[in-house]
A = this chain, B = another copy of it.
Amino acid sequence: MKVSIIGTTGFGGVELLRILHQHPTFQIQSIHSTKDEIPIWEEYPHLYRLLDKKLEPINSEQIADQSEIVFLATPSGISGQLASEFVDKDIKVIDLSGDLRLPSSDYKAWYKHEPVHESLLSKAVYGLSEWNMELIKNSNFIANPGCYPTASLLSLAPVVKEDLIDPASIVIDAKSGVSGAGKSLSRNTSMSEANENLRVYKVNQHQHTPEIEQQLLQWNNSIQPVTFTTHLLPITRGIMTTAYVQLKNEMRTTQLLELYSEIYHQHPFIRIRPENTFPSIKEVAGSNYCDIGLHADNRTGRLTIVSVIDNLMKGAAGQAVQNANLMSGFDVMTGLDFVPMYP
């Protein structure tokens, strides 16, 4: 199957190249960018002699003619228009930006951009692969989830769906590597200032907050607004979310681990860790896994859930290919069986 990438030179785009280059059935047809028409390895020398494709301008018609799937790895604010051209022609589209994930009013309030047209928005399926599998399989237009929401939602889903927690008690303390901020330069992600540092940012104002809340509400309509805090880690890749919730009734850690294991049993990318162990960020580096560990504290009645992903993989390009697999009727693992790179 021929696939094209638009917005290839961002970190999401280049991670798509890493995956798709090794994918057994998807074949990279063309790569696009608003940059100069240079070979991709001039921009990313690690691809030298490995991928000879040139960056091409974004000619939608031509892309539509040649591709069965289009990945949009463009920045927030522009994929809306691009998507509609392909969706109208019934070409599969997976959008990695945040533009198709929220109702217009939420989008305006949190992103401070103009939202896309309602008619387009209504066609997009939220691509949280493990939870929207059937919808994804039958859709040809996916709003690929944000990195933080992916880690947060996968860790909270079982207790929220099973209505086991105080719906007003959710606190998510999230930490991300700098690649989550993308390739554009900023003082906060410069080495001199990010290194040997930890920075909290967008406190109570991160645009992923409504994305998390919206999905939680679909699972359990009693859920109240969540506290969601983001920190910038001095690493390149990886997200950890540490979620705190108040249990409605006392539960033992083992009970909860059994519940999680059962729920995620058929999902190979979700690994529920054994009791008394917790995942570290590096243990999923370069892979599409989401690892989850948890502990219920009988002193406080509170449950702590720790979830880690590679933000460029399960948090972006990896989940995008997972969705493309689903849309194409492939096994979900196809081309995604990367062993985490450790150490």
Contacts and interface: CB of A to CB of B under 8 A. Distances in A.
B238 A306 contact: no
A198 B306 CA distance: 11
A225 B171 contact: no
Interface in A224-243: 224-227, 229, 231, 233-238, 240, 242
Interface stretch (A58-66, A90-98, A283-291, A319-327): A283-291
Interface in A59-83: none
B306 A200 contact: yes
B173 A183 contact: no
B337 A192 contact: no
A252 to B, nearest CB: 13
B300 A226 contact: yes
**Can you tell how many copies of this chain the complex includes?**
4
Interface residues of A, number: 85
A20 to B, nearest CB: 10
A304 B229 contact: yes
A198 B234 CA distance: 10
Interface in A167-218: 168, 171, 173, 175, 177-179, 183, 185-187, 189-201, 203-204
Given A185-B186, A185-B187, A200-B278, 12 more contacts: A22-B339, A47-B340, A171-B302, A178-B190, A191-B236, A192-B343, A196-B196, A196-B237, A197-B282, A198-B238, A200-B306, A229-B242
29 contacts: A11-B192, A45-B277, A45-B279, A46-B283, A46-B339, A46-B342, A47-B339, A48-B283, A48-B291, A49-B271, A175-B231, A179-B343, A185-B185, A190-B191, A195-B196, A195-B236, A196-B238, A198-B233, A199-B278, A199-B280, A200-B293, A201-B278, A227-B244, A227-B297, A227-B302, A227-B304, A229-B242, A244-B244, A286-B286
